[in-house]
Structure 1
Amino acid sequence: MKTVTGDLLALAMAGKFDAIVHGCNCQCTMGKGIALAIKTQFPEAYQADLKTAKGDKDKLGTISTALIERPGAKFTVVNAYTQLNWRGRGVLADYDAIRAAFRQIKATFARQRIGYPKIGAGLAGGDWDVIVAIIDEELAGEDHTVVEFKPA
């Protein structure tokens, strides 16, 4: 896993990634954090989320995708369903769902440049050290980068 500091969405627009991944809840909200930024800047990703069943626990560990094409930029946004809900206290991140989603990401985006924020470790309250180990294991051998957010 590589680590860089910056804005994941700006880096994607600059052609640094073929796919960017963010953690979603299963409620089709995309209402806070990077999910809200993606919903605003890339509404195609929100439309992909809305095509899934709201509140469906079976979405955990799956993904939905949206191809983003803008002048000078082409990449895929991956909505990874890594938590059931956004409400509540404590750890909302589901480590098994993170593992399953990243296994599917590797199968779908092998040999591509994959970028993501600290999925599950922000608003979802997960332990980044646990999540890093999962991602590194599931994306072994792939070109993948965590982007620690720093506004431009």
Structure 2
Amino acid sequence: MATIREATPADLPVILDIHNEAILNTTAIWDETPVDLADRVRWYEKLVTAGYPVLVAETGGAVAGYASYGPFRPRSSYRHTVENSVYVHRDHRRRGIARELLIALLGHAYDSPDVHVVLALIESGNTVSIELHEDLGFEQTSHLAEVGRKFDRWLDLTILRCPVG
């Protein structure tokens, strides 16, 4: 079992490593170019300043994964809808850490008077992540075929929602 806590700026180098590994080797993040530490600092500061959570899972004193949610879209009518992100370090996958992070993230959303719906936008081939979200109360609302391209192939997107408020 991991310890889930609020991330601090000291965690950002490990969060950067997890993020860039997902960019380079998975379809979990649809970006194709790794980012630098300054990018993750801006990301962190933007979320935290706006009151959104950035959580990390620690095992054995090391950060094993991170999770956050933030604005779904910039328009004001979407202000009560957030999109979640959960990523686990390659050496800690398949150990229940993503579940622990997502449970903690949903707890934060349930406690927030400003969040009504949490969305998950997941590459459709990532059935492990889709099933995890469904196990925790998300329902599939749509499937968008061939809306992204990475690793020289088209990617489908599955959208799931979880009402929390």
- After TM superposition, the score normalised by the length of structure 1 is 0.43
- After TM superposition, the score normalised by the length of structure 2 is 0.40
Which has more strand, going by share of residues? 2
